[in-house]
Amino acid sequence: MPHPSMDATGYYQMDYVQHDIDRVRCFEMGAISFTIYARQEFLSNGLLDLRDERANACPEDGDNCPICIEPFDLATEAGLDNNVEVIAGCGHIFHFSCLWTWLNSPEAPIASCPMCRRELFPNPHYMGDWAEVPRVDVPWGHLIRISDNMAHTITALADVRAKLVHSDDVNARLAEAESLAAQLRPLFIRYEQIERQIGAVCDNDLDAWNELDLESDRIYDTLRHLMRRVDEIVAEIYASEIDAPDALPVPPAPVNAAVIARIDAALVRVPNMPENYEPTIEPEYYPLFHLNALREQRTSLGVRFMQLQQQAKELNDRGEPVPQELENEIDQAEETLREIRRQIDLIENYPYQMSEM
């Protein structure tokens, strides 16, 4: 089955192969678990391309993905959108990137179809069963480089602050991002130290192993929260500029090329970007990183929207009233999805011609 032209979060792979994207994702998780192997097996054998004769369902133009509520774009040069996949077992259809996000959702108790809840593969990660999960050596030095790259990203944002719309809101976001970036490196270093200690603990010293493992989990959760928040802030700062397009230099100043490239590399989680990285992107691709960030937000929120709708449906099926708070959250999620769609449309119709999108 051919992989889609963008990776699982909606980021375009550009010159990176799918294996590299998967490997970087393993770095972010902190350990390669049985769950990842099971998921890879499902993605390889449990999904059908729309061209596959075994696919017993096919969307029509105008049909929407149940997760992100965006239409399936079937009018591609190849005739069918290779980002649309059919679950072999039940025939339900989703965007590949949306389904990936659903399978990685922390709220998902099992890896199941978002529509019919058919179990797709065993998922001990969400069930808390780590007893049989082997630890795998990971090049933690790459994690530290990611931390450095993200710190460079925040520094770069500060360097171009004068080119942004000056407001207390933007400056407050930038200050928060700088603070978060400063916390990343020592956490990565401590995480590396703990993993090495765990590898040196004797098999019969279970208490010491458990204590180190708990600390490792706590640090990992903190790292994941910090990195996600930095990503969000970067997107928020540039979103404020998209809403006021006159504030962006047209064409962008050449000094911004390196800035945008570093931000793009940090968001895509490229672990081996050299310190003397020289961008090769053309100016028309500058807004691409923000467009990809919006697409990821759309997919993540779409998963949450789907979960909320499922909760409401289950209550209705049991004859129980749907709480007003739940209805309000569903309405808010739908409204936010529409706003994200508006921003995506604005970028796609921006004066830059992004031919690879």
Domain of residue 22, CATH code: 3.30.40.10
Does 318 reside within a domain?
Answer: no
The answer on 164 and 94 residing in a single domain is no
Does 194 reside within a domain?
Answer: yes
The answer on 233 and 166 residing in a single domain is yes
Model confidence at 346: pLDDT above 80 = no
The answer on 157 and 273 residing in a single domain is yes
pLDDT value at position 87? 80
The answer on 96 and 162 residing in a single domain is no
Averaged pLDDT, 45-74: 67
pLDDT value at position 156? 54
Q: Give the number of domains in the chain.
A: 2
The answer on 148 and 41 residing in a single domain is no
Sequence letter at residue 275: E
Does 173 reside within a domain?
Answer: yes
The answer on 144 and 121 residing in a single domain is no
The answer on 264 and 202 residing in a single domain is yes
Does 327 reside within a domain?
Answer: no
Does 298 reside within a domain?
Answer: no
Whether a cis peptide bond, with omega within 30° of 0, leads into 251 is yes
Model confidence at 84: pLDDT above 60 = yes
Model confidence at 80: pLDDT above 70 = no
Q: What is the extent of the structural domain holding 48?
A: 18-127
Does 229 reside within a domain?
Answer: yes
Domain boundary among 102, 127, 152: 127
* Rounded (5°) CA angle 143-286-247: 115
The answer on 203 and 84 residing in a single domain is no
Give residue-wise pLDDT tens across range 246-259: 443 333 333 234 43
Task: Give the least confident one: 121-130, 131-140, 176-185, 315-324.
Answer: 131-140
Q: How far apart are CA 10 and CA 268, in angstroms?
A: 10
Q: Looking at per-residue confidence, does 90 or 251 come out higher? A: 90
pLDDT band at 33 (very low <50, low <70, confident <90, very high): very low
pLDDT value at position 239? 60
